[in-house]
Amino acid sequence: MGSTSLKIKSKAQDFAPNGSVGQATSTIRRTLLPAAAKEHLTLEGRLMNAGKIFQQNFLIRSFDVDPDYKVSIKAIMNYLQDASVNYRKKMGMSAENLLGVTPEMRTRDLIWVYRCMCIMVDRYPSWDDFVQLHHWFSTSGRTGLRCHWVINDIKTGETLVRASSLFVMMNKKTRKVCKLPEEVENEFKPYLTINAESIVENERNSCPKVETMNHIRTGLTAGWNDLDFNYHVNNSKYVDWILESIPRSPVHNQELCSINIEYRRECLKDDVIQSLSKVVTDEQTNHHGIELEHLLRLESGPEVLRAKTAWRPKSVCR
Amino acid sequence: MGSTSLKIKSKAQDFAPNGSVGQATSTIRRTLLPAAAKEHLTLEGRLMNAGKIFQQNFLIRSFDVDPDYKVSIKAIMNYLQDASVNYRKKMGMSAENLLGVTPEMRTRDLIWVYRCMCIMVDRYPSWDDFVQLHHWFSTSGRTGLRCHWVINDIKTGETLVRASSLFVMMNKKTRKVCKLPEEVENEFKPYLTINAESIVENERNSCPKVETMNHIRTGLTAGWNDLDFNYHVNNSKYVDWILESIPRSPVHNQELCSINIEYRRECLKDDVIQSLSKVVTDEQTNHHGIELEHLLRLESGPEVLRAKTAWRPKSVCR
């Protein structure tokens, strides 16, 4: 990773978040199953550690891999989101509501929105690999709920992906962020891990200097297939847009090893997006990889998201 | 379906294709498993009926459904393609080559390309449904290989989706279509169903009258995430583009019940596409649904595909 400025914790630390998840991590280790048992693994996910950890398995499909036969970063984001939705369903939240709205949230017209997301890929799984995901929640200050995910190779237990995100509450009518009401926190309490350190640290990205961003792609729009259940652009679509402006030349033989996204604004179907990128650490100064800064904004001006990505030489070239 | 001009066979017929698959269809019925057994079903797929049928199961994920919580037509196309790739892998074709190139094809620089595809949706499965897919091949004249798929509800055995496609051989260097060489046919022979009737009939679409197509969307392009292993635009991306030009008003309360696509040309990353549509049978003349004609073409003129879609009133509105 060289001089990357994304604060990524060491692998040894990742498996030992503080507090009540400590015990659970040894449970995670014990539940790694041999390859022969993979046919019998549940795909719908299950609660572990008295409900404080959710476990789900994924078989990597041919349509979830990129031209290098490795799972795409978009597919990884889909897996994380799917586990989060399934965990909330297991908690007894409305099964037909994929956004995990609790009864107390419904009363107050509150919804969850992504504030930031950080994904660190140690190794990309390939087509037909079977992976196991563990997911847990913790509170974050007075406004947010932090999600933590780890994806392991099911045969070896090797950590492949670590991710963390912050959700905040938004009033559906005013579209303003608000504090996490005590009543909603109480609904989540049985499932919350208190004082858990983040599996990956979400760092606030500094304000990007638009005039220095020299790789630009304009006219990006969302298709019908990119919308979520609120008819907003799905979280994972933003990653497609970020990738649209990356310069081909420095990243041709590199693979994404981490992405840190800070969401600033929702997008709707007919919004027209500009994607801007800048190489901040290139191969000249860092032989281990490069780093880029990214900005998505509406063509009319307002910022949609800021992001940083780090890239390393491809582990296996096609 | 009312007056649809797509020739869709009756459900009773679908389960009884001619020839050697006859026996297999009773095997299909016998292998429908009760819900309780679904955790134990293999997801990687398996050969049945001495290799002449391939069976694979899918759990419908939250990211494969549309805002109505029903599986998207794009996801269905991905499932069909995934089963086809996995079947060829089980046949012993190169596991790392998702395009199913046989040794004899490799010698002759031949690849498979889609010529046409017809999908008929009887009922859309929803998020968390478990479905079972059966897939078989037959020859089609001297140039092609026909694929047949049926997707069933795993609990009830109800037929949800029927599909058929025609692949032809193309020379990778000249990009010209050629006859199926006997040596390649021999490689497939153990898996081929002879004289099988198509599960759904692919009908050639008449040449669309461009000047009458009054719903137009311009400037469509493929993202990195839309490319296949040859760095061509993936087959299922075309469906996104078709949907981009459909008029909102007549189809707002309708759902797609069939799509018949005729592929005319490959697309690459930087191609700019126009999507054109026309309502040919509207709600005024047919209360059961509407039909549309579609055309995708490069902005520079050449035709990319022709398609027809049929729509019916939504089975369950959100």
Dump pLDDT digits (tens) for A132-180: 999 999 877 777 889 999 999 988 999 999 999 998 888 988 888 888 8
Q: Hey, do A1-202 and A204-318 end up sharing a CATH topology, with the first three levels equal?
A: yes
pLDDT at A9 over 50: no
Q: Mean of the per-residue pLDDT values for chain A?
A: 80
Q: Mean of the per-residue pLDDT values for chain B?
A: 80
pLDDT band for position A37 (cuts 50, 70, 90): very low
pLDDT at B41 over 80: no
Mean pLDDT of A298-302: 92
Helix (H, G, I), strand (E, B) or coil at B105: helix
B215 a catalytic residue: no
Q: Between A and B, how many CB-CB pairs are < 8 A? A: 87
pLDDT band for position B10 (cuts 50, 70, 90): very low
Interhelix angle A73-90/A237-244, rounded to 10 degrees, is 160
Question: Which residues have a Cβ under 8 Å from the Cβ of A113 and sit 6 or more positions away?
Answer: A167, A168, A169, A170, A177, A263, A266
pLDDT score of B297: 96
Q: Are B280 and B291 in contact (CB under 8 A)?
A: yes
pLDDT score of A40: 40
**Integer CA distances (angstroms), B180 to A173, B53, B104, B170, in order:** 61, 21, 11, 9
* C-alpha–C-alpha distance, residues B168 and A272, integer Å: 38
Between chains, do A41 and B42 touch, taking CB under 8 Å as contact? no
pLDDT score of A284: 60
Q: Select, from the ranges A41-45, A252-256, A296-300, B250-254, the one with the highest average predicted confidence (pLDDT).
A: A296-300
* Stretch among B119-128, B132-141, B193-202 having the lowest mean pLDDT: B193-202
- Of A61, A96, A223, nearest to B82 by CB-CB distance is A61
Question: Which residues have a Cβ under 8 Å from the Cβ of B142 and sit 6 or more positions away?
Answer: B179, B180
Specify the CATH number of the domain B204-318. 3.10.129.10
Mean pLDDT of B251-261: 89
Q: What are phi and psi of B89, to 5 degrees?
A: -65, -45
pLDDT band for position A316 (cuts 50, 70, 90): low
- What distance separates the 2 farthest-apart alpha carbons in chain B? 56
More confident: A310 or A36: A310
The domain ranges of chain B are 1-201, 204-318
pLDDT band for position A282 (cuts 50, 70, 90): low
Mean pLDDT of A97-119: 84
pLDDT band for position B164 (cuts 50, 70, 90): very high
pLDDT at A44 over 90: no
- Of A82, A127, A241, nearest to B62 by CB-CB distance is A82
Mean pLDDT of B15-43: 42
- Of B40, B231, B243, nearest to A39 by CB-CB distance is B40
- Residue that has been written with the tokens 């050969």 in this structure: B47
Nearest to A152 by CA among A119, A126, A125, A128: A125
pLDDT band for position A199 (cuts 50, 70, 90): confident
Helix (H, G, I), strand (E, B) or coil at A225: helix
- Residues paired with B177 in a beta bridge: B170
pLDDT at B292 over 50: yes
Number of residues in chain A: 318
Between chains, do A96 and B69 touch, taking CB under 8 Å as contact? yes
**Is the CB of B74 inside 8 Å of chain A's CB atoms?**
yes
pLDDT score of A42: 62
More confident: A207 or A292: A292
Q: For residue A62, list chain B residues with Cβ-Cβ distance below 8 A.
A: 81-82, 85-86, 98
**Is the CB of B41 inside 8 Å of chain A's CB atoms?**
yes
Q: What is the third-level CATH fold of A1-202?
A: Thiol Ester Dehydrase; Chain A (3.10.129)
A267 a catalytic residue: yes
Between chains, do A82 and B59 touch, taking CB under 8 Å as contact? no
pLDDT score of A31: 45
**Integer CA distances (angstroms), A272 to A267, A269, A281, B219, B280, in order:** 9, 9, 29, 12, 31
Assign domain B1-201 one CATH number from 3.10.129.10, 3.40.50.300, 3.40.50.620, 3.40.190.10: 3.10.129.10
Mean pLDDT of B244-255: 83
Nearest to B229 by CA among A260, A300, A186, A68: A68
* Sign of CA pseudo-dihedral A224, A228, A233, A238: negative
